[in-house]
Amino acid sequence: MTIHKEGNKSIAIAVILFSALNLLSFYFISFSLPLVCGMLFFVTLILLLFIVSFFRIPNRVLTIDENAIVAPADGTVVTIEEVQADEYFTDKRIQVSIFMSPLNVHVNRNPVSGNVAYSQYHQGKYLVAWHPKSSTENERHSVVYNKNGKELLVKQIAGAVAKRIVNYVQAGQKIKQGQEMGFIKFGSRVDLLLPLDAKIQVKLGDKPKGGVTVVATW
């Protein structure tokens, strides 16, 4: 396991706060209130470990399959439905939504190999990630992948807690399946808009692993 580069600043700030709070606690209250001092150390240590864990990149054997569309994110499948596309596409699509809790790995990966046909950031609200309107009203970044003429769209969607979406791909770029496409900080959601003839391989409640689980096949 390694730590993602997006976590360097957050972890550094967390370490400084952890050290400062506990040094002050040790010098000023450790003798008079040792139990409070110990509880403060325990709580701040848990918070520090949580922040470090949030930016983890676990070692995985990624799925590389020309016919597969792999999960762009870890999380829980909360939506599988036919929708009318409202961005880039004008036809109907199958939407598969993956909700990412703060405990999930938050690295986002390319679901297929091919070319980036579209990459666009949208400012927006911070509704809870499972809200039906979060897909169209929240801050988000949309990417369309073109693989041999077949296209799919991936939306990175900010939630009530997530306040920063990072995306690394640009229109015209050639990408590989499983490579990093971005990162979302602290709880969020990722939507896939797939062709109607895509064969869905997951069901509601499944817990896919980014870059590993096959969500659908062409």
* This prediction's pTM: 0.84
Active site residues: 188
**Close Cβ partners of 55 (under 8 Å, ≥ 6 residues apart):** 3, 4, 6, 7, 10, 11, 106
- Specify the DSSP class assigned to residue 19: H
Going by their DSSP bridges, the two strands 188-194 and 150-158 should be labelled as antiparallel
User: pLDDT (tens digit, 0 to 9) for every residue of the chain, 218 residues total?
Assistant: 788 888 889 899 999 999 999 999 988 887 888 898 899 999 999 999 988 988 899 899 999 999 999 999 999 999 999 999 989 999 999 999 999 888 898 899 999 999 999 999 988 665 655 555 555 567 889 999 999 899 999 999 886 665 578 899 999 999 999 999 998 876 688 999 999 999 999 999 999 999 999 999 98
Look at the block and give the residue holding tokens 């003429």.
149
Look at the block and give the residue holding tokens 């309107």.
133
